[in-house]
A and B are shown apart, each in its own frame.
Chain A
């Protein structure tokens, strides 16, 4: 067997083993606990094949495109030495990927309906649309802010712990003052902002910057962009709630 074929089969097998545990769990519970025949067995097997194939292709693409482009841009930015451009890049990447995120639209619409029910805004579609737009903008800005701040932190070599501790401190404080109806939305917003394509790219960028900038340690300084991007939306949405809804009574 040629080397390429071996490599290909190895990677396909690796994707298979990534997904196999889910299959084992579901089959175990179906046979031993629920004790009912499998619904739509054929379609389930075909679907499982697609999951494995899709994961295999995605990881291939990750290694041939997302990681290299993130590293390459980090290298070129570091070579140029222009801090402003890198920070702006961090902002643009965070903002653009979040504003286009479908999950964000769903959360923002839910928030709009809740705000209309709470009597914060007029219960008409123009005012709800306006509210949804403002909220989406706020969340996208918060992720952009996280990208800019996170990149700046890597360049400066500031410990992530400072940001995590003060960030969660601020979130706890904001939870006290934020109106009740916005709190659940705020925590949900923290979870929708990190999409499957953005994460590898941002990770490669952060680690790349920490590798190419002298005096930075890729392990200590390179990670942390995602942590910040899950933190800032919670804070920004609570502040948004305090500003637009008025503080909690």
Chain B
């Protein structure tokens, strides 16, 4: 790609992020004028910050679209390609129903879910805030690892579900049952944060790659349709991080307890 089309891509992306920030700025300005009726302090610094948010996000998105998405989607397609899975004898469609041949797909699902979650800007933001107000007792990296691990499990389990064809609701109901029990026993201070992380994982970086993987699988496994079975990975990617974060908090609490000798 030449530099000219890079610039074009950044300009298009900038229009998108400007459009995103417009309603936020309007609401803030309206409430400053109508409700708070005070001058905003550090206006110059804030303006610079908003500028960095808009430009940074635009550049980030262009980079994703030029670099990470094409490679990741191409890889999802190659790994779910029947030729890669069962070799050149494509007449044996029975072999494609064997969940064991999708080993590399599950592994890829796990690691791509893990790594894209670590790069989610919204998760970074929430983790920074959590570290700040817990005065360091929650580490930003610890929280992000727990969430990423949850997404990784969720996405690879979701890939396995597409192959076996188990109905989605079986997993969802079981998942929510586990969640309910955890919510009961987990330390009270972590619950709100844990549920918030379920909402931030399905954002900029993870969704396009995971969707490509789901559609690739659903198109190639006999008896699945991309329309009916391709979704569900995203639902898993928002459910399992909550379980993982609650679990992480419960384990940390146990360790702290046993260290203090109780």
Contact = CB atoms under 8 A, between A and B. Distances in A.
Given A203-B129, A230-B199, A56 B56 contact: yes
A102 B200 contact: no
Contacts of B212: none
B195 interface: yes
Given A54-B63, A64-B45, A207-B129, A227 B56 contact: no
Contacts of B134: 219
Contact of A219 (B67, B112, B126, B133): B133
Contact of B75 (A30, A46, A96): A30
Interface in A29-64: 29-30, 33-34, 36, 38-40, 43-64
A64 B28 CA distance: 16
Given A68-B46, A230-B198, A48 B192 contact: no
Contacts of A24: 115
A190 B195 CA distance: 13
B121 A49 contact: no
A195 interface: yes
Interface residues of A, number: 95
A101 B204 CA distance: 13
B16 interface: yes
B50 A65 contact: yes
Nearest to B234: A191
Given A44-B67, A54-B56, A61-B50, A18 B192 contact: no
9 nearest A-B pairs in the assembled complex, by CB-CB distance = A47-B67, A65-B49, A57-B56, A54-B60, A50-B63, A61-B52, A61-B53, A64-B49, A54-B59
Given A29-B79, A96-B24, A195-B20, A223 B31 contact: no
B50 A219 contact: no
Contacts of B26: 96
Contacts, number: 299
Nearest to B144: A18
Question: Interface residue tally of chain B, by bracket?
Answer: 35 or more
Interface stretch (A77-85, A119-127, A130-138, A235-243): A77-85
18 contacts: A21-B119, A22-B118, A25-B112, A25-B115, A29-B108, A46-B6, A50-B67, A51-B63, A53-B59, A65-B45, A65-B53, A73-B28, A73-B32, A82-B35, A92-B27, A165-B180, A195-B203, A223-B195
Interface stretch (B36-44, B92-100, B155-163, B251-259): B36-44
B133 to A, nearest CB: 4
Contacts of B1: 43, 46
A197 B24 contact: yes
Contacts of A207: 129, 133
A218 B50 CA distance: 25
B236 to A, nearest CB: 11
A38 to B, nearest CB: 8
A59 to B, nearest CB: 6
Given A53-B59, A73-B28, A203-B129, A21 B195 contact: no
A43 B66 contact: yes
Contacts of A22: 68, 72, 112, 115-116, 118-119, 205
B248 interface: no
A27 B37 CA distance: 54
A248 to B, nearest CB: 15
A220 B202 contact: no
A69 B28 contact: yes
Given A102-B16, A229-B199, A55 B119 contact: yes
Contacts of A218: 133
Contacts of B198: 227, 230
A211 B35 contact: no
Nearest to A153: B192
B151 interface: no
A55 B64 CA distance: 11
A62 B60 contact: no
Given A21-B115, A199-B199, A221-B192, 15 more contacts: A22-B112, A29-B75, A30-B75, A47-B67, A54-B60, A55-B124, A57-B52, A57-B56, A57-B60, A67-B129, A164-B195, A197-B20, A218-B133, A220-B192, A227-B198
A55 B40 CA distance: 27
A26 interface: yes
B60 A55 contact: yes
Contacts of B19: 100, 102
A176 B100 CA distance: 35
B192 A160 contact: yes
Q: Of B61, B66, B70, which is in contact with the most chain A CB atoms at under 10 Å from its CB? A: B66
Interface string A163-187: 0110010000000000000001001
